[in-house]
Amino acid sequence: MGLKAYPFEVVIAGRKPSTALADQVKSLDWMVRRATRKGKVTAGELSEVRRKATLLTGQP
């Protein structure tokens, strides 16, 4: 379970543990959003986010 135990969250390990919410995709264009990097995810964490997002969208 993650920090809030949402079904579409993925726990991200690191110095400060956090979560990625696969059902909260706002924009894929980080430059438009002026997003800043908070850290890195492992290949396994990214795979889990993609898997859960695919469940929502039905798209691979």
pLDDT tens for each residue of 37-50: 888 899 999 999 99
Q: Where are the domains of the chain?
A: 9-57
pTM: 0.72
**Is the CB of residue 21 less than 8 Å from the CB of residue 6?**
yes
pLDDT band at 1 (very low <50, low <70, confident <90, very high): very low
CA nearest to 24, candidates 7, 39, 42:
7
pLDDT tens for each residue of 17-38: 888 888 887 667 778 878 888 8
Half-sphere exposure of 30 (CA within 13 A, CB side): 4
Q: By three-state DSSP, how is residue 37 classified?
A: coil
